[in-house]
Amino acid sequence: MTTTTRTTTTPADPVARYVSGREFRMLIAGELCAAADGAVAPTLDPSTGQVLTTVPDGSAADVHRAVAAADRAQPAWAALGLDGRADCFARLGRLIEDNLEELAMLDAIDSGNPVRAMRQDVRISLSYVRGWPGLAQGMHGQVIPASPDGLHYTTWRPCGVVGRITAFNHPFMFAATRPLPALITGNTLVIKPAPQTPLSTLRLAELFAEAFPPGVVNVVTGGAETGDALVTHPTVKRLAFTGSVPVGLLIQRRAAESGRVKQVSLELGGKNAMVVLPDVDLDAAVEGAVEGMNLEVCQGQSCGSNSRVLVHSRVHDEFVHRLAERVGRIRVLSAYDERADMGPLVSDAHRTRVRGFLERAGTAGAQLLAGGGQPEGAPEEGFFLSPAVLAGVEPQMEVARDEVFGPVVSVLGWDDYDDMLETANGVDFGLTASVWTRDLDLAHRTAQLLDAGYVWVNDSSRHYFGTPFGGTKDSGTGREESVDELYSYVEPKAVHVRLAPAASAARRAGLVTAIDAVEAQ
Ligand code: NAD
């Protein structure tokens, strides 16, 4: 693809206001800096297809500097205690709040996600910044009655330096919230954002620099090689990754090849089932399907999207009709146009990939009921694709099994409950699922039987802070957004105190006891 640097600006142009003429730098040891070798990489505006600016292209040397800084800063950060660390969180929260509009706009410009949704991402991030210290306050050890003459208790300490690698679809939210549980438990951090969407993370780096002591948070931008340097660094004991299954598997392998034993958590893809039972409130379910696809948040580029909708035959035709009509009304425009419900995909290559899924689904016999083309009114040169609804999808089709990670919702009809469950569970992923019915027994039974880590009943998409988010099967390992995640960033230690028998302990201490008196007789 050929690209040209953007030259046209108007006073009202958000690119001119928030990007042009500005330097975006990494954060290492408290200093905002360029890459050690001066390398830069372009970042594109998916709404126009043009280069926005360049950002540092960090190398292994930058990762090494960042890890060394994090390692130096860690003991003092841990010693600060929970209250001291929570003060830094409060400072970060105020800075994010003061810069909400800019952060949301940077995400819209750089990722293509609609700006209204990105404002909501920043607000959600704020609630996490405020929420984590309280959750950490409740962390505790245990006293275990493991023997009759001993005291057995557990305590814990931070893992040390954590490497955090994030995906492109919620750039600010991932950079702002995913590091928090590691930080509040006394770890220090090196963050590597996705190369497609570095801008809001680099702006956040400036806020981290104001809110936290030097070296506690470090941000290094770059691609796969930069990520690999972090994964294989011997000092990084704990790795947390959000991204695709192939890269997740590679990270597990490369972590082992580093020669050091590491703890790796993976938040990977999904092929999530929305199950529609025949007694459903159809309007609510159609709205739930659209919301659950995250079309109006990130063009369906979400791990949690309900990309397979399994609809009972009694309501199937009406559901499909209403869904196609509702999806057809989604306004696809420049991401920073206030009227946009949906923006462009993150890159031209990704749009080509998504179109490929649509073409092959058509060849396999699925019917395209809405979308799949150039949206009316969207700029020709951006990476736009109107949201697509496919009906007549069969469980064995590629589009029903593989993660598209784009604006494609597949509808599958069913009659038999057991067959439906087999289809719902018959994929390699197990991240989210939802059940739509008025029958509470059936809802709970179905929720139990669905092989997924996060299940909604008559709801979709929403994350509830404090409840564990994560997947089964190839959707990952570990759970986030909850107390489970806090404990994943600390290493427990069991302490055993062998107590002497009461009489000899008292005698050694020079105390006269009833036992002494008896022995003296
Ligand atoms: P990706 O796997 O291509 O990249 C993710 C990150 O890994 C990027 O920062 C990338 O630079 C880095 N990376 C690439 N190769 C690497 C290597 N060899 N070593 C270390 N790091 C490397 O994913 P993506 O395209 O950015 O995001 C889409 C995927 O992320 C989808 O599969 C989606 O389902 C998943 N995702 C999952 C969640 C979740 O919470 N489960 C959330 C968002 C996205």
Atom of ligand 1 nearest to the CA of 168: 26
Protein residue with least CA distance to atom 16, ligand 1: 224
Q: 105 CB under 6 A from ligand 1? A: no
Q: Which of 55, 128, 169 to mutate to test the pocket of ligand 1 (most atoms within 8 A of CB)?
A: 169
**Could you tell me the distance, in angstroms and rounded to a whole number, from the CA of residue 307 to the centre of ligand 1?**
18
Residues 323/360, Cβ–Cβ less than 8 Å: no
Beta bridge partners of 5: 51
**Could you tell me the distance, in angstroms and rounded to a whole number, from the CA of residue 29 to the centre of ligand 1?**
26
Protein residue with least CA distance to atom 23, ligand 1: 243
Give the integer Cα–Cα distance in Å for 299 and 180: 26
Q: What is the pLDDT of residues 280-317, one digit of tens each?
A: 999 999 999 999 999 999 999 999 999 999 999 999 99
Q: Which of 244, 257, 265, 408 to mutate to test the pocket of ligand 1 (most atoms within 8 A of CB)?
A: 244
Q: 63 CB under 6 A from ligand 1? A: no
Protein residue with least CA distance to atom 13, ligand 1: 224
Q: 248 CB under 6 A from ligand 1? A: no
Protein residue with least CA distance to atom 39, ligand 1: 267
Q: 107 CB under 6 A from ligand 1? A: no
- Global pTM reads 0.94
**Could you tell me the distance, in angstroms and rounded to a whole number, from the CA of residue 362 to the centre of ligand 1?**
28
Residues 176/189, Cβ–Cβ less than 8 Å: no
**Could you tell me the distance, in angstroms and rounded to a whole number, from the CA of residue 330 to the centre of ligand 1?**
27
Q: Does residue 88 carry a catalytic annotation?
A: no
Give the integer Cα–Cα distance in Å for 47 and 378: 8
Per the residue annotation, which of 33, 88, 159, 267 is the catalytic one? 267
Q: 228 CB under 6 A from ligand 1? A: yes
**Could you tell me the distance, in angstroms and rounded to a whole number, from the CA of residue 243 to the centre of ligand 1?**
2
Q: What is the pLDDT of residues 379-427, one digit of tens each?
A: 999 999 999 999 999 999 999 999 999 999 999 999 999 999 999 999 9
Q: 247 CB under 6 A from ligand 1? A: yes
Q: 160 CB under 6 A from ligand 1? A: no
Q: 403 CB under 6 A from ligand 1? A: yes
Protein residue with least CA distance to atom 21, ligand 1: 227
Atom of ligand 1 nearest to the CA of 194: 9
Per the residue annotation, which of 159, 303, 480, 485 is the catalytic one? 303
For the chain, 521 residues long, give each residue's pLDDT as a single digit of tens: 334 444 433 446 999 999 999 999 999 999 999 999 999 999 999 999 999 999 999 999 999 999 999 999 999 999 999 999 999 999 999 999 999 999 999 999 999 999 999 999 999 999 999 999 999 999 999 999 999 999 999 999 999 999 999 999 999 999 999 999 999 999 999 999 999 999 999 999 999 999 999 999 999 999 999 999 999 999 999 999 999 999 999 999 999 999 999 999 999 999 999 999 999 999 999 999 999 999 999 999 999 999 999 999 999 999 999 999 999 999 999 999 999 999 999 999 999 999 999 999 999 999 999 999 999 999 999 999 999 999 999 999 999 999 999 999 999 999 999 999 999 999 999 999 999 999 999 999 999 999 999 999 999 999 999 999 999 999 999 999 999 999 999 999 999 999 988 778 878 888 765 656 555 55
Protein residue with least CA distance to atom 19, ligand 1: 228
- Residue 2 has a pLDDT of 39
Give the integer Cα–Cα distance in Å for 422 and 316: 19
CB atoms within 10 A of CB 514: 9
Q: 303 CB under 6 A from ligand 1? A: yes
**Could you tell me the distance, in angstroms and rounded to a whole number, from the CA of residue 247 to the centre of ligand 1?**
7
**Long-range contacts formed by 223-229: CB under 8 A, 24+ apart:** 223/41, 223/57, 223/195, 225/59, 225/60, 226/57, 226/58, 226/59, 226/60, 226/62, 226/63, 226/192, 227/165, 227/192, 227/251, 228/254, 229/59, 229/60, 229/63, 229/64
Protein residue with least CA distance to atom 36, ligand 1: 243
Q: Which residues contact 451 (CB under 8 A, 6 or more apart)?
A: 424, 425, 430, 433, 472, 473
Q: Does residue 338 carry a catalytic annotation?
A: no
- Residue 516 has a pLDDT of 60
What's the whole-number average pLDDT of the chain?
95
Q: How far apart are the first and last CA of the chain?
A: 100
